[in-house]
Amino acid sequence: MTLRVAMIGHGFMGAAHSVGWRQAPAVFDLPDSVEMAVVVGRTASAVAASAAKWGWAESATDWREVIARDDIDIVDIVTPGDSHAEIAIAALEAGKHVLCEKPLANTVEEAEAMADAADRAAARGVRAMVGFTYRRTPAVTLLRDLIADGAVGTVRQVRAAYLQDWLVDATMPLAWRLQKEHAGSGALGDIGAHIIDMTQFVTGLEVAAVSGIVDTIVTQRPLMASGTGLTGEATEGSGAGFGEVTVDDVALFTGRLSNGALASFEATRFATGRKNALTIEISGDKGALAFDLEDLNAVQYYDNTAPQGRQGFTKILVTDAAHPYIAAWWPAGHMLGYEHGFVHQAKDLVDAIVAGADPQPTFRDGLRVQRVLAAVESSSAQNSGWVHIDPRAPEGH
């Protein structure tokens, strides 16, 4: 059988997902073949160029027509967050498996509707997955496995940060990611969602309560020549005047995990000199583990049970065939990069579809992250200290 993929959107994430779909069948022995059938974008000429560049068989400008086609099996959504719910629910109701980029939606209510639609679809054998791709970095998957095996013992504290500097320049135009109606939130949802999910993924614990603050450092930016459409592709030039930045630039918050441990989170686009610095450190009574995306083929491990004279952080190079995903790639010591997570994502989704299993992370996992995001915003807006996250509550607190 051949699984035919339609990708809605073709910007930065579209390029990354295209690499994943193109490489996964070549690297892994997939249970079904995959065909990159069609990519959808707002502008015919731009999406046609993307199709030719990244290897899609055809291009289109109407996602509804594409979803209605009988020859499409998987819908991959890489559009801005304001369209995730509409596209995903329509695709699931049409019987298509869905991969949706993170964060799952712009609001808790949208995420709940998507998770409910995914549950209904699963009863018919239709699968849905949210794209927290850093889970597929072999070192991060190894972190999860080591913690599950007891390498750190009882988790006592987590420190997670995602630092970027692409908004330090106040003349950066008002792109869609800076507009709440398109992005939902700023640094909090765009990169903070990653460290929330990563913390929950590697520890197996949930963020049960948060206390934090979000802030917008540059409140107005130059207008772009025209609005950014469904696919999120960049527009050239700048328009006259300035527009309001309606999302956060920085988010700082503390989390209480479900076992009582504390976690600290920082997500910012104003960390001057930091391009894409994601770090996480998990401290336990028996040891500690740390990961840095700028050294993405390695894990740092501290064994607190070793003799005192032999203690110290040890670097584990995650390139051996025994490590997650690595056996399909290169000999030990030959490094993987950012794009490989998207290859692993495509592999895992195809494996789950063919096996008739729910791929991970599910839309329910995406909803759980969405509730944490909403709780952080609530804590900041109300200056209310701790906001508890009840998984049954529609508003995330």
Does residue 18 surpass a pLDDT of 60?
A: yes
Least confident of 54-58, 226-230, 378-382: 226-230
- pLDDT (tens digit, 9 = 90+) per residue, 300-333? 999 999 999 999 999 999 999 999 999 999 999 9
Domain range 2-134, CATH architecture: 3-Layer(aba) Sandwich (3.40)
Would you state the CATH architecture of domain 137-359+371-379?
2-Layer Sandwich (3.30)
User: Cα–Cα distance between 23 and 9 in angstroms, integer?
Assistant: 19
Residue 392: the pLDDT is 58
pLDDT at 224: 81
> Measured between alpha carbons, how far is 331 from 141 in angstroms, rounded to an integer?
19
Two structure tokens written together for 45: 């000429």
pLDDT digits (tens, 9 = 90+) for 105-161: 999 999 999 999 999 999 999 999 999 999 999 999 999 999 999 999 999 999 999
Q: Which residues pair with 53 in a beta bridge?
A: none
Parse the chain into domains and list their residue ranges. Answer: 2-134, 137-359+371-379
Q: What is the pLDDT of residue 235?
A: 40
pLDDT band at 390; cut points 50, 70, 90: confident
Tell me: pLDDT of 393 over 70: no
What was the pLDDT predicted at 394? 45
Note whether 263 and 254 are within 8 A (CB).
yes
Mean pLDDT of 6-15: 96
Q: pLDDT band at residue 395, thresholds of 50, 70 and 90?
A: very low
In this predicted model, what pLDDT tens digit does every residue of 48-60 receive, in sequence order? 999 999 999 999 9
Residue 224 neighbours by CB distance under 10 Å: 18
CA terminus-to-terminus distance, the chain: 45
